[in-house]
Structure formats: structure tokens, C-alpha cells
Amino acid sequence: MHRQGAVLLEEGYLSNASRWHRLTLDGLASTRDGLTPRARLLIWPDLSTDVRAALAGLPHEGLIEIVWQNSRGHITSLTVDETEYAALPAVLAEARAVMVLSGYEDERAPLMAGVLPDPDGVLRARWLP
């Protein structure tokens, strides 16, 4: 089950560091103002509110990134492999929505990708796909 009218924005501001934002029409301007210039921007589907189904659908093995929103609305992520799956129900006990992504870059397919230009409108960033 997905909530209507929202998507997730992954703001990659350093090579292996990112922040997550839930985008809605009402909050778009305030989110835009807080983004880092030259950030790599990836758009993902909204989080699923069916946390149990997401956990039940984990792959049998491999690296995953699990993204979740807690009861206070904060979105965070954690990269784990199958040896850590058993701990996820406790970690996600207060999660109200979740998304599971492959931990392997070549298996990830965002809905859209882009780069944020500098404040003067010039694009000076170079990100590899």
C-alpha cells in the first residue's frame, strides 16, 4: 500500500552519503531550499506503509538498503546483509513506512535522476550514473 501524491528524494551530497526527503506538493519549496548545490538527486517511489510485507519480501541473501520513516517523520536508511536481517524487526519497530532497495548500485533503478545546479544556475557537478 502506497500513500498517494508523494515520492522520495535521495539527495547524494557526497560520494557515499545521502539524505532522504519525502516530497509532496505542499513541502516542495521548503525541501528545495535545504538541498545542497551540486547534489545528485534520485527520485524513488513513496515508502510503503506495509512494513511487515517489506520485511517478508527481503531477498534470501545479499546487500540491501532499507529506508524508513519513524513515528516522528524522520527518514533514515541502513545498509545490511542477510546476516543482519533478524535484527530488522527490532530496528523498524517504530517505522511507519519503509522501502527496500538493492545494496548493489547496478541493480538500483530510480524513477528519475538529476543534479542540482549551483545558485547561479550553472551545472558544475559531475556524477557518474
Contact (CB, 8 A) for 125 and 44: no
pLDDT in tens, 17-70: 899 999 998 888 889 889 988 999 999 999 999 999 999 999 999 999 999 999
As a whole number, the mean pLDDT across the chain is 91
Q: pLDDT value at position 128? A: 66
Reduce the DSSP state of residue 14 to 3 states and report it: strand
Query: Would you kindly state where each structural domain of the chain is located, as residue ranges?
Result: 7-115
Q: Which amino acid is at 56?
A: A
pLDDT interval class at 110 (50, 70, 90): very high
Residue 118 in contact with residue 37, Cβ under 8 Å?
Answer: yes
Quote the DSSP letter at residue 93: T
Mean pLDDT of 70-97: 96
Residue 54: which residues within 8 A CB-CB, separation 6 or more? 48, 66, 98, 99, 100
- Kindly indicate the confidence band of residue 123, based on its pLDDT and cuts at 50, 70 and 90: confident
